[in-house]
Amino acid sequence: MIGYYILIGVIALVSWAVSARLKSKFEKYSKVVLRNGMSGAEIAEKMLADHGIRDVRVISTPGRLTDHYNPADKTVNLSEAVYNERNAAAAAVAAHEVGHAVQHATAYEYLTMRSKLVPVVNISSGMSQWLIIGGLILGAAAGAGFGYYIAIAGLVLMAVTTLFTFITLPVEYDASNRALAWLKNKNMLGQQEYAGAEDALKWAARTYLVAAIGALASLLYWALQVFGGSRD
């Protein structure tokens, strides 16, 4: 277990460093006021209109960094700061979330796959590790018996969660690419504003990359505990 705690510690440290960098980037670009004077909500509404999407609402949601697109009720949820403010960071986030709405409207395959996995991941993410640990306690490392199959079940659930984090990568990168392409093609931002939006979205994407790598590392660690011991 010491090795696992070291692994988790390293992943947590890297995740913290990336998140801290992301936060500083957004604070920096929140000071870059848009020349067009548009708020995040107005940016989102215009991008939806330019893509011919009429059945998606842009709404304000409480909190910080709570921005998301909800495919169930077709709403672009923008945090209060993003919804109201008129800066490069708000423009980047608003356009990114609309990028997900565009994916939904065009049946982007990775978004469809991710949406189908959500109900399973909601269960597997909380159960998988406990099943593996329980299986190991019951003797899974011996390579046979009831405990072994419990551990295998836990690994399968953890693999689904890991797959979800990797499917999330193209979804997030594609949403950012759609956002940046629209911002550039429609000449929505000045050169400095666009550079800030691009940089902010790049750091946001890296948080998902770290999460995916962490999930894979955790899966490999537990698989080694289950299958490595059974070869002895």
* Positions marked active-site: 97
CA distances from 116 to 77, 111, 127, 164, 204 (A): 21, 9, 19, 10, 24
CB contact at 8 A, 59 and 76: yes
Give alpha helix (H) positions in 52-145.
80-84, 88-105, 109-137
Q: What letter would DSSP give residue 140?
A: G
Q: Helix 146-185 to helix 109-137 angle, to the nearest 10 degrees? A: 150
Token representation of residue 117: 């996995």
* DSSP string of 182-207, one letter each residue: HHHHTT-S-HHHHHHHHHHHHHHHHH
Helix (H, G, I), strand (E, B) or coil at 108: coil
